[in-house]
Amino acid sequence: MRDLVYPPVIGFAKTALKVLDLKFQLTGAENVPRTGGAVIAMNHISYVDFVLGGFGALPSKRLVRFMAKEVLFRNRYSGPLMRGMHHIPVDRSAGTASYRQALEYLNAGEVVGVFPEATISRSFELKEFKSGTVRMAAEAAVPVIPLILWGTQRMLTKDHPRDFSRHRTIAITVGEPITVTPDDDPAEATTHLRSTMAGMLDRTIRAYPEQPAGAWWLPAAYGGGAPTPEEAERLDREELARRAARGK
């Protein structure tokens, strides 16, 4: 797969991050295979996760093909970039097409980035996972690489103004590969993946250099001011209702 757009975009992103003087805590990057297909499963706490999540694979010299909302591919600005970087458009009304494209990429030896939660978590804890991640990994006979992002929610997330202040820390934790086979129960495999990532998230949060009590970007379970998972679920339902009302 020819990549004329991806390398310059990475170069631009590195320059922007250098200007912001972001400090990266990257651990476990050696778990991303240097060759062959793989599914990278990431938590979702920010609109910039698909940018910074890809940095976890750069030490292995891999480019991540993200599964992202189809609307981004229709935007006059982001569309050419998303297509040029060979990301995968996801139309929820026709999800089979994106699933098949992801399988084609995996069978061709590409790394596909997936957000099993499907949407941003307002609580910054893990939401329920969709089973598509483990199903595609099993069908393509490739490993699932769990990856946790932390700190990206401070930059740009739901319900809060953007804040690209300098000198912040972005933590990226890459876990060991998880093998899933066609004989495995997708629900059980998904539960195992989520449990693994929940443990990784806990360790990443506790190792993060800042733990200010009451901070809006810190989960309620850690003394922060973020909504509890139950409150976040209510906010998600209200958001969906507003969208439905606008669509009528």
pLDDT of 246: 85
Report the percentage of the chain scoring pLDDT > 90.
93
pLDDT band for position 56 (cuts 50, 70, 90):
very high
- Confidence band (pLDDT; 50, 70, 90) for 125? very high
Give the whole-angstrom CA distance, residue 70 versus residue 219: 30
**Residues 48, 172 contacting (CB under 8 angstroms):** no
Model pLDDT, residue 49? 95
Give me the chain's average pLDDT, please: 95
**Average pLDDT score over residue span 70-90:** 93
Looking at residue 92, what is its pLDDT? Answer: 75
Listed by start position, the domains of the chain span 6-247
Contact 125, 201 (CB under 8 A): yes
Mean pLDDT across 9-38: 96
As a whole number, mean pLDDT of residues 81-90 equals: 95
pLDDT of residue 163: 97
| 131, 41 contact by CB (below 8 A) | no
Place of tokens 């934790």: 173
Q: Which of helix, strand or coil describes residue 219?
A: coil
In CATH terms, the fold of domain 6-247 is Glycerol-3-phosphate (1)-acyltransferase (3.40.1130)
Over residues 66-91, mean pLDDT: 93
Q: Does the pLDDT value for residue 18 go beyond 80?
A: yes
- In 3D space, the residue among 234, 204, 195, 237 whose CA is nearest the CA of residue 222 turns out to be 204
- pLDDT for res 1: 81
Confidence of residue 59 (pLDDT cuts 50, 70, 90): very high
Q: Does position 213 have pLDDT exceeding 80, yes or no?
A: yes
What pLDDT was estimated at residue 66? 96
* Cβ atoms of residues 72 and 82 within 8 Å: yes
Q: Is the pLDDT of residue 243 over 90?
A: no
Quick one: the chain helix, strand, coil %, rounded to 5?
Answer: 45, 15, 40
User: Quick check: 37 and 109 in contact, CB under 8 A?
Assistant: yes
**Is this structure's pTM higher than 0.75?**
yes
**What single letter denotes the amino acid at residue 136?**
M
pLDDT at residue 48 tops 90: yes
Residue 244 has pLDDT above 90, yes or no: no
Asked whether the predicted pLDDT for residue 199 surpasses 60, the reply is yes
